[in-house]
Structure 1
């Protein structure tokens, strides 16, 4: 799911192009709004990050249709950036 439009979830099926370069090997097309090998857009990840301080992981998972473990991983990465490391 990418986002909701008028309350309806929107999915963006996507195929990336791959080329076989004789010098570099196989290269995959880079897409600015999608991290390499990601299944979520940067926009959806950012939306989930904004919800995390407000709602439970379970609720966000149900709301967005993103698996609980995926939301938890997004939360772990967010906390690593927000909370300073303890020495």
Structure 2
């Protein structure tokens, strides 16, 4: 069973840790020379769910709980974003 997690060479911080803004926001980059990436709103929620690692079902369930929606409502969007994060190298499959 495939598990997902943040790649080892990624540094990130969420807006919540900086100033508690209204829109969930995460700033991330691959070290040492990756371009900065900004994830806002639902993208940040998926990133925070991914931070704990887990299967796609676990990431979907965590993101749904954080956003107050049903897992079935967001599954396709979460899967798409997780796939994109893997492609650009900030998340990885184990």
Give the TM-score category using the shorter length: 0.3 to 0.5
Structure showing greater radius of gyration is 1
Higher relative contact order (CA 8 A, sep 6+): 2
More helix by share: 2
